[in-house]
Structure 1
Amino acid sequence: MSDLPLHPASSGALPAAALTTPLQYRLSTRIVTLSGVALALVLSMIAGTLWLSWQLEGAGAAINDAGSLRMRAGNVAIQLNEARAGRKADVSSQTALLDLTLAHLKGGDPARPLFLPATPAIHAQLDAVSQTWYGSLKQAVTHDSSSSTDTPSLYLARLPAFVAEADALVRMIERENARKTAWLRRWQMALAALACVGTIAIVYLLYAWFVMPVRRLERGLSRIEQREFSARLPVESRDEFGHLAHGFNRMASELQSLYGDLALRVTNKTAQLATRNGEPVALYEMTAFLHGAFDVEVLCRGFLARVMRQFNADAGTVRVLAQDGDNLHVVVSEGLPEPLLSAERCMPASTCVCGAAATSGLAVVRDLRTPQALDTGPATRCGKAGFNAVAAFGIVSHDVTLGSFSLHFRDGRAVLPSETRLLDTLGKHLGTALQNHRLATAARQLAVAQERHLVAQGLHDSIAQSLNFLKLQLHLLDDAASRNDMNEVREIAPLLRGGLEESYEDVRELLVNFRTKFATGNLRDAVDETVTRFERQTEALVRLDYDEAGGLPLPPDQQLQVLFILQEALSSVRKHASATQVHIAIRNAVDFDLTIEDDGDGYDPAEIASRGDAHIGFHIMRERAARLGAQLRLDSEPGNGARVRLLLPGSERQAA
């Protein structure tokens, strides 16, 4: 076998469809198919030899049992003679053994193995042997003893016919066994021949599939090393080596072209590198801009201006999907004619290039000069406005499409794959910025709603109850006035005055509490102010122990919640405890610990729990502790004061 020559100038190129090797032409497919066929042939032949060996083994056992029929028939004759002579004999056991042997021959025994060859003549001969035994010999053993002929003589007279039938059965099994032995030798010879032919075929195929293509490739590489860039390999197969030969020819052609106009290619590569180097800069600048604190319109307008400047677009838009996802709204636009902008300010998301990008999140580039773009629709409006190309890209955040942005070009412009990837990335950055803006807005709304909820609870716990008391007293005052009972009027008037003063104090306390603001590290001043105000409102003696203990200051949000809990606890003491002494202990170490104790009337925790939401102050403190991630414990006994402890673990502390 000789190598195929190299083609000196012909490219031998495969068509574009052959660049991807089809499955049926791959070398791996050929090798697997060849191995599978060879394995199937070898296994089938081995299975045939094993089957023949098993048949021969079973037939050998059958020959042995068939030959034993003559011996067992003779043993029956011997036992009959022994019985006639008056000696002890066991005719029935010998008869049973012969019956059992015939049954084994007829039914077979795969475990031994023992079975007759599947030949009709042999099975017919076995039936003849069985008929001779059951129809002649066995009847002679069991015939009537009153007959003139004795049993042994009758049995011996019929025995030769049975032996002849048994001999014929043995000879037929032996002939069938000899035939299968000959087939076994033929199968073994065929297996040896298959091994030789298969080895030769595999060597030839491996040489043709691997060695020859590798040698041609080596010769081609040698010529390339000698700067013979006109060298080409013949492409004569569609497997991996054919693909490799095609790649070699393409490489040689590329090298030949590069060697011919190296200066031009260096210039082009330099321009490409400059473009690629500009992409990270644009991406960095855009990322820095999007992370600024802007509202949505400023964010989108700045994004659009930078993208249009980067890609020399004549116009552009940023659109967002409505909540229902059916309509697409223009947030900002640049360079679009007013009629076009008015027509597309709000349009169905299922239409136009921008809608396709907004619903799928994928880039859509449309050349409006092609016949396919002449259909009626929004794309036609862009074409009538003087734009020849439109490119739209999705605004995506965490696989959720929020809208799209588009670039419009009056001159036909092809968007390169690298530019498409950059614009897709920019769309994801804009989507993340918009999503963060939405989340921040939602967080602020949630915080306001939660704080309003706490304000409402505070109003319900203080002013609402006081006003309800005043309303009841006014009804009593009206009744007393209608009855002209001045004594009762004089009793009710101080109660109304006290209720109004208490309501006024509650309003002032709420206003002071909810106007509290913090800068980092001002918790101590706010606590001192709260304690001073509490001392003015009550006659209780307050002792404050404030221990910094090396802990860092809490951030303003956590400081505010701690102060609100302290104010709420002191308000409960002022209103309900009738305490003479109050002890406040604050320890700011790894954990933040706040404790408020008083010696007042106390309360029954079970009775408070049974009232559900009746004591709003406790619920307010618990909700604020939950927002902190802190542990709040309320302890009290009737007549023994009360104790409130707030523990903020170090794991829940935020950085100040």
Structure 2
Amino acid sequence: MRKKPSLSTKLLALGVGFLLIALASIGLTLWVTWQLEGGAAAVNEAGRLRMNMLRMVIAQQNESPERVAALERQFDDSLELLRTGDPARPLFVPRAEETRERFERVREEWRILRSHWNEAMPAQAVERADAFVLHVNAFVESIETQIARWTAVLHLFQLLMVALAIAAAVTFMAVSYLLVLHPVARLQQALERVRQGDLGTRLVVDTPDEFGQLAAGFNLMAHALQTSHEDLERKVRDKTASIEEQNQRLAALYAVSALGAEAGSLEALAQGFVQQIRQVAGCDAAAVRWSDESNERYVLLAADGLPQALAEQEHCLAAGSCDCGQAQETAQMRIIPITPVSAQQLPHCREAGFETVVSIPVRLQQRLLGEVSLFFRTTRSLSPDTRGLLSTMAHHLASSMESLRATALEREAAVAEERSLIARELHDSIAQSLAFLKIQTQLLRDAIAKDNAQVRERSLAELEAGVRECYADVRELLVHFRTRTSDEDIEAALRATLSKFEHQTGVATHLSMSGQGLPLAPDVQIQVLHMVQEALSNVRKHAQARHVELRVERHPWRFEVCDDGCGFDPARVAPDSLHVGLGIMRERALRVGAEVRVDSAPGGGGTRVCIVLPSASTVVPALA
């Protein structure tokens, strides 16, 4: 097949054609003009022949023969010039046959006239000259006729040039529109459609020229854009679906975490978890089983969607009795298919219509806390992402179960600690008072038996004093047990303690706080309050004071209980005496790493009890 010319070739050919036509037109115009100028010059030279002929006739009659010979030579030169032409300027006889014949006739007549020139009479010479001039005139007329023809040809050619210019302009505009403007307009329209979002726009490639190549390139570009846009939309859809899936997983994990934080009991935690995991896994039923520490049995904690009969039949499974209750050594996530020919030890799942069971162990470090079972009525498989999500949810369940266990242990430890505290308080105060009363009761019985009135009265007085002491100790314990502290500052609790002391005893009190520092930890506050209450209790029992002052330094923490009582000698206080307050204070100080110092002397100097806390007793407040 012949290859079609390109646009460049077409435009180049069109330009070359127009150039050749223009050059031909210019050349033809110049040639015609040259012909006209040459003919006009020949007419002028022929006119000079007539003038020279007249001059020779006059010279023959009036001038010398030399002058006539000179004129003859000029006449011969003019004829020769007309015959040969002048290459320096446009002068030549037109090549028309008639003109050439008449020119040759003029030459012949001149030759004849010259041969008889000297023999003729003047009248004959004039007559012959007139006849010769007629031949010259005929020659000139033939030249003028030829010039008129060339002039008509020039005018006609000029008209043709005007028509050709118009045709060339129209042709150029048509060719420009067909070859350039129309393809450019099509390309612009296609670009506009692509800009508006129509990536399926395509151009028809009907020519192999440059615009055809541009159209093919545009089609390739539009196809690449469309493919890229479709790929980008697909990636966006896939990424959006992945993000939605991740959001669902995060929402599921958040729900499980929130459930673990809000659940108040193991049963509530398990019931909420089976509902959450059933929704996430899309299973028909779900169950949570708890395993004891020895992993000998699995007890059903909660179930959702599980038939009642199946729940009752498998309420408690021995480890290894079925595929669900796995032993700790081999426990792992498993997908268990249930077929009519499968050899399950317990056929309850098959009888309930389930075809697939997923067993997920609930582990915390090396401990197996239980198992989550998912039941499907169709054959199912799990993707790696779903497996990871279910395992993470099971891990959250294990953490929540352990948190509940730790909370229960903390509550149990708190109860035990409180009981131990009450026991120590009773032992250190009421128990000793009751022991003293028991001794006095025995002495009273002996005095009654011996009828010793003096001993009996003394024992009754001691019993009365002991009962009052025991009653005061009970009230003091009630005050201690009802004391509450503030998480931010101990000042309010100290003021409440002093107010109660002042109300019970009538002794004036004063609290002074100085310095700035971090607040005390709650457990340290409790011990400090108890030690202050013990010091105030000793003031009430033994000091006989009229004023008590409590001084507190916040940095470092330091508490001083000062009274203006009778005082005593701390070194002479026996450890087994009734004054057990100092011992109790030292025991409490030992628990929080504090130091208790007692400064006192008998004789009315008063007593000062100083409690100094270590710097580690403070707690950093939570940031707002």
- TM-score, normalised relative to structure 2: 0.55
Distance in 2 between residues matched to 1:542 and 1:273, nearest whole Å? 68
Q: CA deviation at 1:296?
A: 1.8
Match of 1:38 in 2: none
Q: Which residue of 1 aligns with 2:529?
A: 563
Query: What letter is aligned with 1:655?
Result: P
Give deviations 1:589-619, integer Å, cap 9, x for gaps.
Answer: 4x432233456213229964xx7x9986456
Gaps of 5+ in 1: 1-257
User: Could you give the per-residue CA deviations for residues 230-289 of structure 1, whole angstroms, max 9, x where no partner exists?
Assistant: xxxxxxxxxxxxxxxxxxxxxxxxxxxx99x98999788875664344322322332233
Please tell me whether residue 369 in structure 1 is matched to residue 339 in structure 2: yes
Q: 1:574 to 1:305 in 2, by over 3 A?
A: same
CA distance in 2, matches of 1:560, 1:576: 24
Report how far residue 544 of structure 1 moved: 3.1
**Per-residue deviation, 1:411:** 1.5
- Identify the residue that residue 278 of structure 1 maps to in structure 2: 248
Distance 1:394 1:586 in 2: 56
CA–CA separation in structure 1 for the residues paired with 2:586 and 2:320: 50
The CA RMSD measured in Å over matched residues stands at: 3.6
Contact 2:440-2:463 at 8 Å conserved across structures: yes
- Give the Cα–Cα distance (whole angstroms) in 2 for the partners of residues 384 and 332 of structure 1: 20
Aligned-partner residue type, residue 404 of structure 2: H
Q: Which residue of 2 aligns with 1:644?
A: 610
Q: Which amino acid aligns with 2:261?
A: H
CA distance in 2, matches of 1:410, 1:625: 66
1:114-160, Cα deviation, whole Å (9 max, x unpaired)? xxxxxxxxxxxxxxxxxxxxxxxxxxxxxxxxxxxxxxxxxxxxxxx
1:550 lines up with 2:516 in the alignment: yes
| 2:375 corresponds to 1:405 | no
Alignment of structure 1 residues 334-413 onto 2, 5 Å: 334-356=304-326, 360=330, 362-369=332-339, 371=341, 374-378=342-346, 380-413=347-380
Residue 320 (structure 1) aligned with residue 287 (structure 2):
no
Shift of 1:649: 1.4
Q: 1:353 to 1:277 in 2, by over 3 A?
A: farther
Opposite residue 254 of structure 2, the aligned amino acid is: Y
Of residues 451, 454, 462, the one that matches 2:421 is: 454
What TM-score does the superposition give when structure 1 sets the normalisation length? Answer: 0.53
The one of 274, 281, 289 equivalent to 1:311 is 281
User: What's the CA shift string for 1:351-393, capped at 9, x where partnerless?
Assistant: 333322766553122111285xx22423x32222211111121
SS of the residue aligned with 1:655? Answer: coil
1:400 and 1:417, CA in 2 relative to 1: closer, same or farther beyond 3 A?
same
8 A contact 1:361–1:395 mirrored in 2: no
Share of identical aligned residues, percent? Answer: 33
Match among 618, 621, 624 for residue 655 of structure 1: 621
1:410 Cα deviation after fit: 1.3
The verdict on how the C-alpha distance between 1:321 and 1:646 changes in structure 2, with shifts beyond 3 A counting, is farther
Cα offset for 1:524?
2.5
Query: Does the Cα contact within 8 Å between 1:357 and 1:364 map onto a contact in 2?
Result: no
Structure 1 residue 439: deviation in Å?
A: 1.0
User: Secondary structure in 2 aligned to 1:527?
Assistant: helix
Q: 2:459 aligns with which of 492, 498, 518?
A: 492
Query: Does structure 2 conserve the Cα–Cα contact (< 8 Å) formed by 1:359 and 1:403?
Result: no
Is the contact between residue 295 and residue 368 of structure 2 (CA under 8 Å) also seen in structure 1? no
Alignment of 1:288 with 2:258, yes or no, is: yes
1: CA distance between counterparts of 2:379 and 2:411? 46
Q: Tell me, in whole angstroms, the C-alpha distance in 2 between the residues paired with 1:653 and 1:605.
A: 38
Distance 1:616 1:493, change over 3 A: closer
Query: Residue 630 of structure 1 contacts residue 646 of structure 1 at CA under 8 Å; is this kept in 2?
Result: no
**Residues of 2 paired with 1:466 and 1:455: CA distance?**
16
How far apart, CA to CA, are the structure 1 residues paired with 2:487 and 2:243? 50
How far does residue 404 in structure 1 lie from its aligned partner after superposition?
1.5
DSSP 3-state at the match of 2:528: helix
Q: Give runs of aligned pairs for residues 209-224 of structure 1, distance below 5 A.
A: none
Is contact 1:523-1:559 (8 Å) kept? yes
1:389 maps to amino acid: T
Match of 1:417 in 2: 384
1:332 counterpart SS class: strand
State the distance in 2 between where 1:284 and 1:300 align. 16
In structure 2, what is the equivalent of residue 332 of structure 1? 302
Aligned length: 389
Which letter does structure 2 place at the counterpart of 1:489?
R
Residue identity opposite 2:345 in structure 1: G
Q: CA deviation at 1:539?
A: 7.6
**534-543 vs 279-288, greater mean Cα deviation:** 534-543
Q: Distance in 2 between matches of 1:532 and 1:602?
A: 28
SS of equivalent residue, structure 1 residue 604: helix
| Contact kept? 2:356, 2:380, Cα under 8 Å | yes
Q: CA deviation at 1:306?
A: 0.9
Cα separation, 2, equivalents of 1:469 and 1:444? 36
> How far is the alpha carbon of 1:493 from its aligned partner?
2.3
Aligned to 1:299: 269
Contact 1:357-1:393 within 8 A present in 2 as well: no
- Name the counterpart of 1:445: 412
Structure 1 residue corresponding to 2:557, chosen from 588, 592, 596: 592
Deviation at 1:307, TM superposition (A): 0.8
Letter of the structure 1 residue corresponding to residue 297 of structure 2: N
1:632 correspondence with 2:607 = no
